[in-house]
Amino acid sequence: MELLQQRLLWNVLPTCVVGLILYLAICGENGLIKQRELTADLLKTEHRLDLVEGENASLEREVARLRDDPEAQARAAAEELLLVPPHSTVFRFAEGTP
């Protein structure tokens, strides 16, 4: 009986400990699976950040153009607010027509 207990202690127990360590290294809170998920999330977030920064730069250029160019201001007012100078011809197209 004592021999069986020694084998259990020196063979099975270390195997269980190593198995537990491997499980935690792979599936644990800071394991490889979680690390890959976080890396993928980081890449998606960086890509989205690049898109937002590009859009922000475009909007900053548009703001600068509208601030400095009266013609651009008039064009923006005509497009956004449907304001046109007096005695101008306005063409309106119904939606869905070719």
**Are 22 and 38 in the same domain?**
no
Residue 93 placed within a domain: no
**Are 19 and 44 in the same domain?**
no
Residue 57 token pair: 């730069």
Indicate the residue type of 45. Answer: T
List, for residues 64-85, the tens digit of each pLDDT value.
Answer: 999 999 999 888 888 888 778 8
DSSP code at position 84 = -
Residue 90 placed within a domain: no
Structural domain harbouring 26: 1-30
**Are 22 and 41 in the same domain?**
no
Residue 98 placed within a domain: no
Residue 55 placed within a domain: yes
Indicate the residue type of 50. Answer: D
Residues lower than pLDDT 50 in the chain: none
What is the reported pTM? 0.56
